[in-house]
Chain A
Amino acid sequence: MLREALEGRRIAITGATGFLGTALTERVLRCLPETEVVLLVRPGRRGAAERARRDVLANDCFRRLRRELGHRFDEEASRRVIPLAGDVTVDGLGLDAAGREVLASCSTVVHSAATVSFDAPLDAAVEVNLLGPSRVAAALRQAARERGPQGDGPPRPALPHLIAVSTAYVAGGRRGLAPEAALAETPFSPQVDWRAEVAAARRARSDAESASRAPEMLARFRRQARAELGAAGVPLLAEKTEDLRAEWADDRLVELGKARAQALGWPDAYAYSKALGEWALLEERADLPLSLVRPSIIEASLAEPHPGWTRGFRMADPVIISYAKGLLREFPGIPEGVIDVIPVDLVVSAILAVAARGPVAGPDIVHAASGARNPLRYGQLVSFVREWFSEHPLADDKGQPIEVPQWTFPGRRRVQRQLRRATNLLEGAERALQAMPLRGSKADLAARVEKRRDDAERALSYVDLYGSYTETEAVFSVQRLLRLQDSLSPEERREFCFDPAVIDWRRYCQDIYLPAVVAHARVPQADGRRRPAPAGRSREQRARRAVLSPDRQLAVFDLENTLVATNVVDSYAWLATRQMGLAERARFTARTLLEAPRMLRLDNLDRGDFLRWFYRRYEGADPGELEGEAWEMTSDLLLSKAFPAGIRRVREHRALGHRTLLITGALDFLIEPFKPLFDDVVSAHMRSAGGELLGELDEAPPTGEARALLMADYAAAHGLELAQCVAYADSTSDLPMLEAAGFPVAVNPETKLATVARKRGWPVEHWSRAPGFRRPLLPFGPLKLGARHGDNYRADKPGATGQQGATAPREQGAMALRERPPRTVSPKTGSGGLRKI
């Protein structure tokens, strides 16, 4: 009867890219061979047809149907699937006349589009969940009106039957039986003016937007951005600041949504907006035939299309995985409370049964829930999960099985308190570590603490979000659902079963649901069934290999702390002390140490400003002299503090035919000896006049976004793609360059960059200096060996051939690196000059 009722008809589905929508589409295509489906999808960039193909029909859900139909699948799909571009968040669903025509040709419309996140911002929940159903209803009425009365052909109901998918949790935090009835007719339901709620939500959005733009807030976001990224340059910091602002405004609306929902007796903004959505729909539907299906927590399928099919990360999945990873030491809940889970295929069957039966008088509301007929107790569920993971533990990083914790069902508040304390503690530790100038493996520690904090925060958010669902004491009545079941023939009852009594909870949990969750989450298991990644390689190893693929075209390197463990201060100190005696060296050391905090501060603010300020010291020096000394310095200081693995990497890139480019803020004549290592070098150039350096740079030093631009210009000039470019750098001041490159690599990263790299999955290299060799601590030039005797054998002219000269001593005092108190230059804040290049 069900199949016949829907034969030759069209069913429109909204939210077909979602979990329920995909399952519904599949079932119609597979089980109702003479029924067409109209998929209302947001067209995106690719268009509705492509989205329907990629995001619906390509899903694993259709595996069975593809197998059954073989090569006829595409043909069948194109015959019976009609993609329709539309959007439930705009009035009229964004449909044109033709679109409305298609919609009007449907006999049934299933509205399952929703934002299912429990922590959606208030306004988003309101637009989609509250207003969405009414918009669909309005669009259907308009479409039917335009289409007018039917000409020829069999008579049809003038208006399609709308089946709106709601949630059983619209019942709110009540105890006891929740009937399958409109909220307005249900005792103890809040009486709310949904129009006022919509207006308030929209106002809240605009309030939050303006509040987030207040100067003190913007200043706060800027501070945060800088704390996170350091001296990453103005554009990146601006981008981050804006992200933080938008995030803050969203967070406020999330908070508001939750507060408002709880104030009215719903657990969260999802239930709240769904409830008001029902309300609005019932008020606005006028003569539109309407049914409401209220599922409880929809989870992986019991049998159709295959046991354990699931899509996306469902509500309980992250909690389960966190538990199995040992991250959730406790979870609140009432052990004897009912946790109302319903497999997705049962919900699909129920919807199809409603569609086949057609509209009935009065608000037609059906629960698709298990609690009243076949309750799963929370304590039972936890023991099923524990049992299963004890037998099938997940593996930790080292492949060792993780032992699952034993939950004791404490109150929600206690768990929250514990987690909050842990989170705060870790946050403090993280802040302390971020503030320290750490590098390499020490910076890794900070990244690890950050990950722990993330884990703790996530656990807390699960408890906050889902705690109310494990503590629900409402029982959802399924009388109407069962009556609907009775209307089916015995065969149909088997084929389109939605009686929750058929679920064997232990079997469902342990044989279907948990294996599906683990498979879906792609987490490694300790019993060796799921080895991490193909060929036993981690994501990081794969990234490392990708860096050295012959397809790459350009490798860009930073110098200081990426290839050599020195900085501009070291080089200067070496050159300056070259001519000094011991006493003078001691004074120099003291002076430099005194200046160190200031240097560090300046460098943290803006690398470019620091370089300009620092390079003033070279004023008056003889460039020729320095150039000569640079060769000695390279051997004594730079090469002796070089990272052999880094140098080797440059050469590997060259051997692979990649172009190699060094971009450094060091002065050009000082890195002259490094030039042969690279195809090209970009460095800072200092102006000179009358044989003396002026202490000023020609152009903005290549730092921050200037570095990214240089890289991009270079790539463009040589016809190379940035997407095929590998960039190596050590600090967040290089972030713009790292972000612009297709393959960024963090080398011995400082704390902030280590964090960024971890978040984005960039490979991190820990390159160290040659093992077993230590240069003296202070970066001083070796003491000059004096010329002590006159010469008997001096010849007139220097040697004619171009052979290596001995390390010729220069006349004393010839080098004019005069030590003077550097002129103070206050660091610029945003004023011009820096960004031109």
Chain B
Amino acid sequence: MPRPGFVLEVDRSTPPALIWHGEGFRLERLPAERSRIVYAPEPLAPLPDPDAAIRAALLNPLGDRPPLPELLRPGMRLTIAFDDLSLPLPPMRRPDNRQRVIEAVLDLAADAGVDDVVLIAALGLHRRMTEAELRHALGDRVYDAFAPSGKLLQHDAEDPKGLVMLGKTDLGEDVEVNRRVAESDLLVYVNINLVAMDGGHKSTSTGLMSYKSVRHHHNVRTLQHSRSLMDRPHSELHSSAWRIGRLLNQHVKVFQIETTLNNDAFGSQLAFLQKREWEWGLRDRASFMAASRGVELLSPRARRSLFQSVLAPHQMTSVHAGEVEVVHEATIANLHRQQVVDVEGQSDVVIFGLPHVGPYNVGSIMNPLLVMCLGLGYFFNMYIGKPLVRPGGVVILSHPTPWAFHPVHHPSYIDFFEEVLASTTDPAEIEKTYEERFATDDWYRHLYRTSYAYHGVHPFYMWYWGAHALEHASSTVIVGGNRRAVRRMGFRPASTLADALEMAEDQVGRDPTITYFRCPPLMLARVE
């Protein structure tokens, strides 16, 4: 029986805590009597037979959807869209949830004699996936069956001929969707719900739409009023996505299939990452020593490729299919079962150790903007109720934050960092002055469509993602970060955690209370 998550009050006998630091970790002793560590629940037991569970879900859908076979008929246009590279994190071992689900759906489609089947990677404004990445997500069998004949597509949010405007929501939000989706008799959406933000109408209204639609929920105003964006009922972002998704559902029949994973992110060799420090055995200590020493010996590039090659052993804990909103409720309940930890009250300071991978640097480089987004956008928002840190408190991130960028994946990030952040770090100012130019830039558009680049506007979203945190906290300190890069973002660099805590005292006073959110493994803090 997996143990739930809990909050450890640090005292003098508490061993040093493991803190993620990019492609590495640090062990830090936290101040006794005023620090607490939030530990994630242990991984839930996976579904014993995921394929059977999938089949059962397809045949027993939730909400007002009939079983999938009843929706399939010869001559129909069937489109299967699936979550892209940004999920799950780290990428999971084969077979991926998407492969299992899509194979099951395709089996039913074949049985029903459906010929016109197209697979679409729901990229939204993300970069295209490479052949290897597609093969990993879908399996070779699916890939080889669809790709050569051009039936495996990647959503192109900038293809004027490939988009259809379906109309506007009550609040005037444009709904411009992938043409194939709009013209399909059935859209099956295959999702992996890694964190509470994912899934539901957000899958389609982000993954299959254009900048024109996405900008309605990805902006400074919605993000500042998404408290948090991991808590849909209190998220402006989701409210907008839901309105847009509902309008899509009026035009296209959507059959949503959502899956959840347990939080077993690291295999046996890195098991210590999943364990609580005082429970480390001899083997865990040895592998921690070996891993941290070994990592130090490697070049940054070798370190990066080593960490990027890690595949997670996480496994499916639930699968639901049917009507979008009902399915999503069930999914979120399962997700909460795995991730929620109850935390009492806020603290003056919160510490996040950032790992090597976030949603936008799979197979790539965690550039400074992605560090900001992972820390202030994702980790900060991993709460229900109130943020872990009090208003005016200090956020401390731990990450090397190198001045490094992937030239193919993140070209507009480089220019954003060099040009935009050099003049201002204020999200509203950035949105007002620069967003449109980057979003409509022909060269970025070209790279997004034909190369492997994120959309020109994507770095702006990284910054907006942190807008709530920027507004809430009084300052951000990055431990061990490249000083120039950290300062460029308007944050303060510190060489050690002790220094960072000293600096925090300038803001929040002597002997502040501290929360260390020991994530990953993934969790969601319910703060009373």
Would you give the shortest CB distance from B327 to chain A, in whole angstroms?
25
Q: Is there contact, CB below 8 Å, between B149 and A806? A: no
Instruction: Indicate whether A382 reaches chain B with its CB closer than 8 angstroms.
Output: no
Instruction: Indicate whether B134 reaches chain A with its CB closer than 8 angstroms.
Output: yes
Instruction: Indicate whether A592 reaches chain B with its CB closer than 8 angstroms.
Output: no
Give residues 615-662 of A contacting B (CB, 8 Å).
631, 634-636, 639-642, 644-645, 647-648, 651
Would you give the shortest CB distance from A654 to chain B, in whole angstroms?
9
The listed residue (B116, B153, B446) touching A804 by CB distance below 8 A is B153
Interchain CA distance A789-B146 in the complex, whole Å: 11
Would you give the shortest CB distance from B215 to chain A, in whole angstroms?
21
Q: Is there contact, CB below 8 Å, between B179 and A801? A: yes
Task: Mark contacts of B276-308 with chain A using CB atoms, 8 A cut-off: 1 yes-contact digit, 0 otherwise.
Answer: 000000000000000000000000110000000
Central interface residue in A642, A644, A677, by most chain B CB within 10 Å: A644
Contacts A770-B407, A772-B365, A807-B130 known; A802 to B146 CB distance under 8 Å? no
Number of interface residues of A (CB under 8 A): 46
Q: Is there contact, CB below 8 Å, between A805 and B153? A: yes
Q: Is there contact, CB below 8 Å, between B407 and A644? A: yes
Task: Mark contacts of B224-260 with chain A using CB atoms, 8 A cut-off: 1 yes-contact digit, 0 otherwise.
Answer: 0000000000000000000000000000000000000
Q: Kindly list chain A residues whose C-beta atoms are within 8 Å of the C-beta of B159.
A: 801-804
Contacts A773-B365, A789-B144 known; A639 to B153 CB distance under 8 Å? no
What residue of chain B has the Cβ atom nearest to residue A791's Cβ?
A: B145
Interchain CA distance A147-B441 in the complex, whole Å: 80
Interchain CA distance A676-B149 in the complex, whole Å: 28
Instruction: Indicate whether A824 reaches chain B with its CB closer than 8 angstroms.
Output: no
Instruction: Indicate whether B498 reaches chain A with its CB closer than 8 angstroms.
Output: no
Would you give the shortest CB distance from B17 to chain A, in whole angstroms?
29
Instruction: Indicate whether A153 reaches chain B with its CB closer than 8 angstroms.
Output: no
Q: Is there contact, CB below 8 Å, between B147 and A808? A: yes
Interface residue SS majority, chain A: loop
Q: Is there contact, CB below 8 Å, between B128 and A804? A: yes
Instruction: Indicate whether A30 reaches chain B with its CB closer than 8 angstroms.
Output: no
Interchain CA distance A809-B156 in the complex, whole Å: 20
What residue of chain A has the Cβ atom nearest to residue B367's Cβ?
A: A772
Q: Is there contact, CB below 8 Å, between B115 and A801? A: no
A167-175, A685-693, A702-710, A792-800: which lies at the interface: A792-800
Q: Is there contact, CB below 8 Å, between B152 and A772? A: no
Q: Kindly list chain B residues whose C-beta atoms are within 8 Å of the C-beta of A634.
A: 450-451
Instruction: Indicate whether A493 reaches chain B with its CB closer than 8 angstroms.
Output: no
Instruction: Indicate whether B118 reaches chain A with its CB closer than 8 angstroms.
Output: yes
Interchain CA distance A380-B172 in the complex, whole Å: 89
Number of A-B contacts (CB under 8 A): 165
Instruction: Indicate whether A494 reaches chain B with its CB closer than 8 angstroms.
Output: no
Q: Is there contact, CB below 8 Å, between B411 and A647? A: yes
Q: Kindly list chain B residues whose C-beta atoms are within 8 Å of the C-beta of A803.
A: 120, 153-156, 159, 162, 178-180
Instruction: Indicate whether A673 reaches chain B with its CB closer than 8 angstroms.
Output: yes
Interchain CA distance A792-B104 in the complex, whole Å: 13
Q: Kindly list chain B residues whose C-beta atoms are within 8 Å of the C-beta of A196.
A: none
Interchain CA distance A147-B146 in the complex, whole Å: 106
Q: Is there contact, CB below 8 Å, between B405 and A773? A: yes
Q: Kindly list chain B residues whose C-beta atoms are within 8 Å of the C-beta of A800.
A: 180
Instruction: Indicate whether B414 reaches chain A with its CB closer than 8 angstroms.
Output: yes
Would you give the shortest CB distance from A781 to chain B, in whole angstroms?
12
Give residues 204-234 of B contacting A (CB, 8 Å).
none
Interchain CA distance A794-B131 in the complex, whole Å: 18
Q: Is there contact, CB below 8 Å, between B150 and A793? A: no
Instruction: Indicate whether B73 reaches chain A with its CB closer than 8 angstroms.
Output: no
Q: Is there contact, CB below 8 Å, between B162 and A802? A: yes
Interchain CA distance A92-B119 in the complex, whole Å: 95
Q: Kindly list chain A residues whose C-beta atoms are within 8 Å of the C-beta of B155.
A: 803-804
Q: Kindly list chain A residues whose C-beta atoms are within 8 Å of the C-beta of B451.
A: 631, 634-635, 639, 673
Instruction: Indicate whether A156 reaches chain B with its CB closer than 8 angstroms.
Output: no
Q: Kindly list chain B residues whose C-beta atoms are within 8 Å of the C-beta of A673.
A: 446, 450-451
Q: Kindly list chain A residues whose C-beta atoms are within 8 Å of the C-beta of B407.
A: 639-642, 644, 769-770, 773
Interchain CA distance A154-B131 in the complex, whole Å: 107
What residue of chain B has the Cβ atom nearest to residue A678's Cβ?
A: B443
Task: Mark contacts of B386-430 with chain A using CB atoms, 8 A cut-off: 1 yes-contact digit, 0 otherwise.
Answer: 000000000000000011111110010011001100000000000
Q: Kindly list chain A residues whose C-beta atoms are within 8 Å of the C-beta of B403.
A: 771-772
Would you give the shortest CB distance from A160 to chain B, in whole angstroms?
71
Instruction: Indicate whether B135 reaches chain A with its CB closer than 8 angstroms.
Output: yes
Interchain CA distance A803-B119 in the complex, whole Å: 12
Instruction: Indicate whether B449 reaches chain A with its CB closer than 8 angstroms.
Output: yes
Instruction: Indicate whether B3 reaches chain A with its CB closer than 8 angstroms.
Output: no
Interchain CA distance A298-B377 in the complex, whole Å: 76
Interchain CA distance A802-B135 in the complex, whole Å: 22
Instruction: Indicate whether B432 reaches chain A with its CB closer than 8 angstroms.
Output: no
Q: Is there contact, CB below 8 Å, between A676 and B162? A: no
Give residues 62-96 of B contacting A (CB, 8 Å).
none
Interchain CA distance A807-B147 in the complex, whole Å: 7
Q: Is there contact, CB below 8 Å, between A798 and B147? A: no
Q: Kindly list chain B residues whose C-beta atoms are within 8 Å of the C-beta of A432.
A: none
Would you give the shortest CB distance from B105 to chain A, in whole angstroms?
10
Q: Is there contact, CB below 8 Å, between B405 and A770? A: yes
Give residues 804-820 of A contacting B (CB, 8 Å).
804-809
Instruction: Indicate whether A535 reaches chain B with its CB closer than 8 angstroms.
Output: no
Instruction: Indicate whether B447 reaches chain A with its CB closer than 8 angstroms.
Output: yes
Q: Kindly list chain A residues whose C-beta atoms are within 8 Å of the C-beta of B446.
A: 673, 676-677
Contacts A796-B115, A799-B153, A803-B159 known; A771 to B404 CB distance under 8 Å? yes
Q: Is there contact, CB below 8 Å, between A644 and B414? A: yes
Interchain CA distance A809-B110 in the complex, whole Å: 24
Q: Is there contact, CB below 8 Å, between B161 and A801? A: yes
Instruction: Indicate whether A590 reaches chain B with its CB closer than 8 angstroms.
Output: no
Would you give the shortest CB distance from B498 to chain A, in whole angstroms?
28
Instruction: Indicate whether B132 reaches chain A with its CB closer than 8 angstroms.
Output: yes
Q: Is there contact, CB below 8 Å, between A806 and B131? A: yes
Interchain CA distance A771-B417 in the complex, whole Å: 12
Central interface residue in B132, B148, B162, by most chain A CB within 10 Å: B148
Q: Is there contact, CB below 8 Å, between A772 and B144? A: no
Instruction: Indicate whether B151 reaches chain A with its CB closer than 8 angstroms.
Output: yes
Interchain CA distance A800-B116 in the complex, whole Å: 11
Would you give the shortest CB distance from B254 to chain A, in whole angstroms?
19
Interchain CA distance A594-B141 in the complex, whole Å: 42
Contacts A794-B149, A799-B180, A808-B150 known; A773 to B162 CB distance under 8 Å? no
Q: Is there contact, CB below 8 Å, between B404 and A804? A: no
Instruction: Indicate whether A787 reaches chain B with its CB closer than 8 angstroms.
Output: yes
Interchain CA distance A773-B407 in the complex, whole Å: 7
Q: Is there contact, CB below 8 Å, between A787 and B148? A: yes
Give residues 117-171 of B contacting A (CB, 8 Å).
117-118, 120-121, 128-132, 134-135, 140-156, 159, 161-162
Instruction: Indicate whether A545 reaches chain B with its CB closer than 8 angstroms.
Output: no
Instruction: Indicate whether B9 reaches chain A with its CB closer than 8 angstroms.
Output: no
Interchain CA distance A788-B138 in the complex, whole Å: 14
Interchain CA distance A101-B405 in the complex, whole Å: 79
Q: Kindly list chain B residues whose C-beta atoms are within 8 Å of the C-beta of A794.
A: 145-146, 149, 151
Contacts A795-B115, A799-B153 known; A772 to B300 CB distance under 8 Å? yes
Q: Is there contact, CB below 8 Å, between B404 and A644? A: no
B residues within 8 Å of A by Cβ? Answer: 106, 109-110, 115-118, 120-121, 128-132, 134-135, 140-156, 159, 161-162, 178-180, 300-301, 365, 367, 402-408, 411, 414-415, 418-419, 441-443, 446-447, 449-452
> Known contacts A639-B447, A803-B156; can you find 18 more A-B pairs with CB under 8 A?
A636-B408, A640-B408, A644-B411, A673-B446, A772-B403, A772-B405, A789-B144, A791-B141, A795-B116, A795-B117, A798-B151, A804-B128, A804-B156, A806-B131, A806-B146, A806-B154, A807-B131, A808-B150
A residues within 8 Å of B by Cβ? Answer: 631, 634-636, 639-642, 644-645, 647-648, 651, 673, 676-677, 769-774, 785, 787-809
User: Could you list 23 A-B pairs, sorted by A, with CB under 8 Å?
Assistant: A640-B407, A642-B407, A644-B407, A673-B446, A676-B446, A677-B446, A770-B414, A771-B402, A787-B140, A791-B141, A793-B109, A794-B151, A795-B115, A799-B153, A799-B180, A801-B153, A801-B159, A803-B153, A804-B128, A804-B154, A804-B449, A805-B154, A808-B148
Which 5 A-B residue pairs are closest in the complex by CB-CB distance? A772-B404, A798-B150, A791-B145, A770-B407, A806-B152
